[in-house]
C-alpha cells in the first residue's frame, strides 16, 4: 500500500503538471479532460478519481501556487511595515505566483472563490480560507484585532474583484491592477482604522438605522 500511495501522489502531480501545460498552451475551454488524462497517461475515469471536476484542477493549481506566499508571510519574519503596506506586498506576491493562471481564474470564481460555498469542499475552499487566515495573521501582527466577519467579507469582495479585473487587465505590465489594489487597500485599511476609533469613542452603533425599512 505504501508503493500505491507514492504512485498516487505521483499521478496527482502529473495531472497537475499536464493540466498546467495544456492550460497555458490552449486555454481552459480548449483543454479537454480527455486531453489531460491522455497526457498524464491515465484513463478519463481515473482523472476523476483524483479531481471531482475540471474546475477543481484549476482551483488546486491556484491553491498550490499561492501556498508559498502564504507560508512566507505566515512565518512573520517579514520586516514590519504598516499593515497596509504588508498587505499590499502579500497580495502582490500572490498575484506573481498566480500569473500563469491569470486568464483562467474566472472559471474558479464560482466555486473556489465564492464566499460561503457549502463547506467541506477540498481544494476550492482552501484558497479562500487559507488566504483569509493569512490576512488575519497579518492583521493581528499589526494590532488590528479580530476582524469582524463583515470586514473579512468586504476584504474578500475587494480581493475577488481585483482578481477578476486582473484576469482582463490589458495594461502592459498590469499596472492598472496594482493601482486598483493600492486604492482598494487604502480604502479598506483606513475604514478599519476609523472603525477602531469609533469603538474607542463608543459612538452609538447606527448601522441598524437605515436598512431596517428596506427589507
Residues that bind its own copies (CB under 8 A): 85, 88-89, 92, 106-107, 109-110, 114-117, 150-151, 153-154, 156-158, 160-162, 164-165, 167-170, 173-175, 178-184, 186-188, 190-191, 194, 207, 210-211, 214-215
- Residues 129 and 187: their CA atoms lie apart, in Å, by 23
Binding of DNA by 26 (CB under 7 A): no
Q: What are phi and psi for residue 112, nearest 5 degrees?
A: -65, -35
Whose cell is 436598512? That residue is 211
Distances (CA, A) of 76 to 71, 87, 97, 137, 138: 9, 12, 19, 9, 8
Q: Pick what 122 binds: its own copies, DNA, none; C-beta below 5 to 8 Å, kind-dependent.
A: none
Least Cβ distance, residue 1 to DNA (angstroms): 4
Least Cβ distance, residue 151 to its own copies (angstroms): 8
Burial environment of residue 69 by CB neighbours within 10 A (0 to 12, 13 to 18, 19 or more): buried
Binding of DNA by 4 (CB under 7 A): yes
Q: Pick what 198 binds: its own copies, DNA, none; C-beta below 5 to 8 Å, kind-dependent.
A: none
- Residues 193 and 147: their CA atoms lie apart, in Å, by 11
Least Cβ distance, residue 31 to DNA (angstroms): 7
Candidates 13, 25, 49, 115; binder of DNA (CB under 7 A) is 49
Q: Pick what 160 binds: its own copies, DNA, none; C-beta below 5 to 8 Å, kind-dependent.
A: its own copies
Least Cβ distance, residue 36 to its own copies (angstroms): 21
Whose cell is 489594489? That residue is 181
Task: Give 33 or 114: the residue with its C-beta nearer to DNA.
Answer: 33
Task: Give 7 or 82: the residue with its C-beta nearer to DNA.
Answer: 7
Residues near 135 by beta carbon (within 8 Å), at least 6 away in sequence: 87, 90, 147, 152, 155
Return the closest-CA partner of residue 83 out of 148, 141, 155, 134: 141
Interface with DNA by CB under 7 A: which residues? 1-4, 7-8, 11, 29-34, 42-46, 48-50, 52-55
Amino acid at each position: 500500500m505504501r508503493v500505491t500511495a507514492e504512485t498516487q501522489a505521483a499521478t496527482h502531480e502529473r495531472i497537475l503538471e499536464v493540466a498546467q501545460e495544456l492550460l497555458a498552451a490552449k486555454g481552459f475551454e480548449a483543454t479537454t479532460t480527455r486531453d489531460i488524462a491522455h497526457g498524464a497517461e491515465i484513463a478519463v475515469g481515473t482523472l476523476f478519481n483524483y479531481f471531482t471536476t475540471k474546475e477543481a484542477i484549476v482551483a488546486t493549481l491556484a491553491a498550490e501556487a499561492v501556498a508559498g506566499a502564504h507560508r512566507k508571510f505566515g512565518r512573520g519574519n517579514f520586516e514590519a511595515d504598516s499593515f497596509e503596506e504588508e498587505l499590499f506586498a502579500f497580495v502582490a506576491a500572490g498575484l506573481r505566483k498566480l500569473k500563469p493562471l491569470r486568464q483562467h481564474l474566472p472559471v474558479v470564481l464560482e466555486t473556489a472563490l465564492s464566499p460561503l460555498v457549502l463547506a467541506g469542499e477540498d481544494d476550492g475552499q482552501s484558497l479562500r480560507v487559507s488566504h483569509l487566515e493569512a490576512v488575519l495573521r497579518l492583521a493581528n501582527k499589526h494590532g488590528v484585532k479580530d476582524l469582524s466577519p463583515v470586514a473579512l467579507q468586504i476584504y474578500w469582495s475587494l480581493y475577488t474583484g481585483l482578481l477578476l479585473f486582473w484576469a482582463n487587465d490589458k495594461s502592459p505590465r498590469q499596472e492598472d491592477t496594482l493601482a486598483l489594489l493600492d486604492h482598494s487597500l487604502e480604502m479598506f485599511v483606513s475604514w478599519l482604522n476609523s472603525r477602531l476609533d469609533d469603538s474607542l469613542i463608543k459612538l452609538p452603533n447606527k448601522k441598524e438605522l437605515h436598512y431596517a425599512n428596506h427589507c
